[in-house]
Structure 1
Amino acid sequence: MAPVCLLCCVCSLLCVWSVATGHPCSLDHQGRADCSGKSLQHAPSSLPRNITSLDLSFNSLVMPHHRTLLKHFPSLHSLNLSSNAKLTLSPAVFSNLGALRLLDLSSCGIAYIHMDTFKGLENLHTLLLRNNSLQKLDVPFLLPLKALFHLDLQHNALVSVDTWSLQLMETVPRVHLEGNPWVCDCSAHPLQQWLQHKRAVQVTCVSPPALRGQEIAALDSQDLGCHINQRFARELNATQQITATENNTTALPAGKGGRSWPYLVGFLVTAIGISIVIALVAKCKLVHKNFASYHHRPLPEISSIGGSPMEDSSSWDRGSCGSHSITDAADLQAEDDDGFIEDNYIQPSEQLPTKERELHRSI
């Protein structure tokens, strides 16, 4: 009787403490809070901040549109929001729950997921989205989930999935797609190849009626009603390359990614410097040429009229090459020639009397 009485006392104390603190949730010594089925519209803010697990299933929660959910509980590892009718997920609504590892959004009537809905959940391990109304799989919402291991998409309204979405889901080891109304036509061939690669089971066709209930992975291209050459394989390879590039760009930290821009800046600076040096050299050569062409020297004075032609020519070379200088030199040469003729003409006449005297003497 003593243990039973003790247990009753503990339960009574917990109930009294819950009423006193202003919330209807039950707590245990492991930091788990159970607020399931309490007709709550908002999470109780009076719960201890250090709780690690919170169950808010089967309530009528109203999600915030421009702020985060459960901002007072940053230590949560597990959050159960299942069975909250018409739950609307706004971008970055879970961004303050960086330690969260399990998120259950099952049976919430979710028809659309924004690509930034799960922003900030880098440590999320399990995401449960079964029993919702997703008709199209916009898988970019998986990009912020770097540590995702288990994705449950069972029993939604998915009829097809594109190749790029399949490649994004390739990084998730465990994916469940059972229970969706898959249409098995030619467009389902990428899904068929993906299922064969993942070795998933019990993913069956719903339409057309001839293939209803058959596993998609067991079908071939002829069963799907299209002739496959290599088109889907090429699309798959191209999508893999694009996805790998985008994932690498997204996953690289700021300190390790984008190291090409310093090399580009260095190349541009080097090219500009070389261009400036070449322009300066060309300019210096042009200035030197202009300086040499305008650097005139006066003609040296001629010491004697009978100067040698070599000296005159050297003087012309050292002097200016203008037309008036050439004319002056030509006049000077003409004067020298006239003097030389006069000298030769005068000298024989002066010596003639002397020769006559010598001739008379000899006779």
Structure 2
Amino acid sequence: MAPACLLRVCSLLCAWSVVTGHPCSLDRQGWADCHGKSLLHAPSSLPSNITGLDLSFNSLVVPRHGTLLMHFPSLRSLNLSRNALLALSPAVFSNLGALRLLDLSSCSITYLHRDAFKGLGNLHTLVLRNNSLQELEVPFFLPLKGLFRLDLQHNMLVSVDALSLQLMEAVPQVWLEGNPWVCDCTAHPLQRWLQRRQAVQVTCASPPELRGQEVAALDFQDLGCQMKQRFPRGVSTAQQITVTHSNTTTPPSGKGGRSWPYLVGFLVAAIGISILIALAAKCKLFHKNFASYHHRPLPETSSIGGSPMEDSSGWDRGSSGWGASESHPMPGAADLQAEDDDGFIEDNYIQPSEQLQEEEERELHFSI
């Protein structure tokens, strides 16, 4: 009797599965539960107007090209957790424009294509916790214009670039806990972002001396980077140099490292001035030598008179000029002419005014 009853139950279950065409359960709200059915693909026999679909704990295969769910354009909630997806191909959800919640937790995802969430402009909640994501590309956030909640807990993220953090500013709720964050100078943008959020508790995983400490509570010295700081106008330069943001013995970055152009300019200017002074001195010496060798003949009017030294000596020797002339006869005109035949005076520094005075004295002597 018992084997007959058991056979009837099995036959009824088989008949029900044949009639319905899928192993999932449906409710009146349009929710399809396909949880833990070892499915490789979503059942195509499900109604196309369902609004919720649970495909968690299955073995879904993600196509390399095309979409994952072809026949459910009205889906608003999709649970794909606990499936070994590994990577998401471009536009794999592009036909789910009405989707509001997407759960991809614990899917061993290591890489997200920049267009993986293309077409999800109305997505409200994205759950990516418990995966193996090591980085977030900037285009990954661009299609998610309506995103409100983003869960990135317990991945392999060690840092996030500043542009990705800027795009995440538009997401009101973001969870980043449980990642092996490296607290060095590259974590400074993340630190500032966390300080603005004030509600996210993110701790350091390395270096060992900072493990377990909150990233938002660290200062510049803990991060090991030197940051620029603005000083008020009243602060002197010496006081600015003494302020440092690093725990290493790094020399202060000021104008000392850029002083070599000024030194080179000073040396070039000094050499140029020296060359100009040398050229000027050389030109002056040249003109002086040129003037000293420039001779010209004297006029021939002095050929009839004697030298002023002879005349003055003749007047000084006697008590009167006439007695001196008697004792020492004056040389004749022929002798004077013979002495001055060369036409030049040996001393080229005699001036013309002295020659005129000499001629006047001679005329006065002859008249006496």
Shift of 1:85: 1.4
- Which residues in structure 2 correspond to 1:25-104 (within 5 Å)? 25-104=24-103
Name the amino acid aligned to 1:70: L
The residue that corresponds to 1:23 in the other structure is 22
Partners of 1:50 and 1:75 within 8 A in 2: yes
- CA shift digits 1:1-30 (9 cap, x unpaired): xxxxxxxxxxx9999644422211011111
- Contact 2:176–2:200 (CA<8 Å) still a contact in 1? no
The 1:222/1:14 distance shift into structure 2, 3 A limit, reads farther
Give the match for residue 125 of structure 1. 124
What does residue 156 of structure 2 align with? 157
Partner of 2:308: none
| Cα pair distance change 1:196/1:40, threshold 3 Å | same
Contact in 2 for aligned 1:128/1:153 (Cα 8 Å): yes
Once the two structures are superposed, what CA deviation does each residue of 1:201-231 show, in whole Å capped at 9, x if it has no partner?
3200010111110000111111111121159
Give the Cα separation in 1 of the matches to 2:100 and 2:114: 19
Q: Tell me the SS of whatever aligns to 2:112.
A: coil
CA, structure 1 residues 214+201, in 2 after alignment: closer, same or farther (shift >3 Å)? same
Are the aligned partners of 1:78 and 1:103 in contact in 2 as well (CA < 8 Å)?
Answer: yes
Change (3 A) 1:75 1:18: farther
Identity of aligned residues (%): 79
Query: Which has more helix, going by share of residues?
Result: 1
Deviations 1:247-275 (A, max 9, x none): xxxxxxxxxxxxxxxxxxxxxxxxxxxxx
- Unaligned runs of at least 5 residues, structure 2: 1-10, 231-368
Superposition pairs of residues 252-331 of structure 1, within 5 angstroms: none
Distance 2:110 2:143 in 1: 20
Q: Say which one has the larger Rg.
A: 2
Counterpart of 1:89 in structure 2: which amino acid? L
TM-score normalised per structure 2? 0.58
Determine whether 1:210 maps to 2:209: yes
Q: What is the Cα deviation at residue 142 of structure 1?
A: 1.0
- Asked if structure 1 preserves the Cα contact closer than 8 Å seen for 2:60 and 2:85, the reply is no
For residue 76 of structure 1, report the CA deviation from its aligned partner.
Answer: 0.2
8 A contact 1:32–1:52 mirrored in 2: yes
Q: Which residue of 1 aligns with 2:316?
A: none
Q: What amino acid is the match of 1:72?
A: H
- Whole-Å Cα distance in 2 between the matches of residues 197 and 55 of structure 1? 36
- CA 1:187–1:76 in structure 2 vs 1: closer, same or farther (change >3 Å)? same
Normalising by structure 1, we get a TM-score of 0.58
- TM superposition shift of 1:66: 1.4
CA shift at 1:87, angstroms? 3.7
Deviation at 1:67, TM superposition (A): 1.1
| Correspondence for 1:194 | 193
Query: 1 CA distance for matches of 2:199 and 2:15?
Result: 50
Aligned CA-pair RMSD: 1.8
Q: Distance in 2 between matches of 1:16 and 1:106?
A: 35
Distance 1:176 1:161 in 2: 13
| CA 1:193–1:13: 2 relative to 1, 3 Å | farther
* Residue number in structure 2 paired with 1:135: 134
Q: CA, structure 1 residues 98+14, in 2 after alignment: closer, same or farther (shift >3 Å)?
A: farther
SS at match of 1:223: helix
Three-state SS of the structure 2 residue aligned to 1:175 is strand
For residues 267-294 of structure 1, what are the alpha-carbon distances to aligned partners after superposition, in whole Å with 9 as ceiling and x for unaligned?
xxxxxxxxxxxxxxxxxxxxxxxxxxxx
Which sits farther off after the overlay, 148-157 or 18-27?
18-27
Secondary structure, counterpart of 1:127 in structure 2? strand
**1:120-176: per-residue Cα shift (whole Å, max 9, x none)?**
111000000000000112132110011000000000000011111110111111110
Counterpart amino acid of residue 84 in structure 1: N
C-alpha contact 1:14 1:26 (8 A) present in aligned 2: no
Counterpart Cα distance in 1 of 2:70 and 2:205: 42
How many residues are treated as equivalent by the alignment?
A: 220
Q: SS at 2:205's partner residue? A: strand
Q: Do the aligned partners of 1:18 and 1:25 also contact (CA within 8 Å) in 2?
A: no
How far apart in 2 are the matches of 1:124 and 1:209?
A: 39
Q: Show structure 1 runs of 5+ residues with no match.
A: 1-11, 232-363
The equivalent of 1:182 in structure 2 is: 181
Task: Note if contact 2:62-2:85 (Cα within 8 Å) is conserved in structure 1.
Answer: no
Partner residue, 1:227: 226
Kept in 1, the 8 Å contact 2:183–2:215? The answer is yes
Q: Distance in 2 between matches of 1:193 and 1:48?
A: 48
Say whether the 8 Å CA contact 2:22–2:43 is kept in structure 1: yes
> Does the C-alpha gap of structure 1 residues 223 and 62 become closer, same or farther in structure 2, counting only changes over 3 Å?
same
Moved over 2 A (4+): 12-19
Change (3 A) 1:109 1:218: same
